[in-house]
Amino acid sequence: GQQVMQIPQYQHVQEGEDFTTYCNSSTTLSNIQWYKQRPGGHPVFLIQLVKSGEVKKQKRLTFQFGEAKKNSSLHITATQTTDVGTYFCAGAGGATNKLIFGTGTLLAVQP
């Protein structure tokens, strides 16, 4: 069945450094979504990408959807302590076209 993997599983950065997490699907996706889950909290929707090669920005966050619609990335410029949490991608595709969550990347930011 469809699998969505994320790398790295964990990233520790100094405040001010950049951060990137990558999402890879075994099947072509109709869309990709990104969520952020603060420690002890629940996932919160960040953005959805639909088009091949699409790039969207939210302040210091840049989201990309690959040309083949099988991968995506989230890049954070100049991380802040408020960026701490787990970032999940979620993709819809494959035979069932249901939303499958990635394994998540836990970001730790040291002040």
Partner 1 sequence: SQTIHQWPATLVQPVGSPLSLECTVEGTSNPNLYWYRQAAGRGLQLLFYSVGIGQISSEVPQNLSASRPQDRQFILSSKKLLLSDSGFYLCAWSWDRTNTGELFFGEGSRLTVL
Task: Using CB under 8 A, list all residues that contact partner 1.
Answer: 30-31, 33, 35, 41-45, 48, 88, 90, 92, 97-99, 101-104, 106
Contact 57, 110 (CB under 8 A): no
Min separation Cβ 16 and partner 1, Å? 27
- The full 3-state SS of the chain, as one line of letters, equals CCCEEEECCEEEEECCCCEEEEEEECCCEEEEEEEEECCCCCEEEEEEECCCCCEEEECCEEEEECCCCCEEEEEECCCCHHHCEEEEEEEEECCCCEEEECCCEEEEEEC
Closest CB to partner 1 among residues 66, 93 = 93
Closest CB to partner 1 among residues 17, 35 = 35
Closest CB to partner 1 among residues 66, 104 = 104
Min separation Cβ 47 and partner 1, Å? 9
Distance from CA of residue 57 to its chain's centroid? 13
Min separation Cβ 40 and partner 1, Å? 9
Closest CB to partner 1 among residues 77, 103 = 103
Min separation Cβ 7 and partner 1, Å? 13
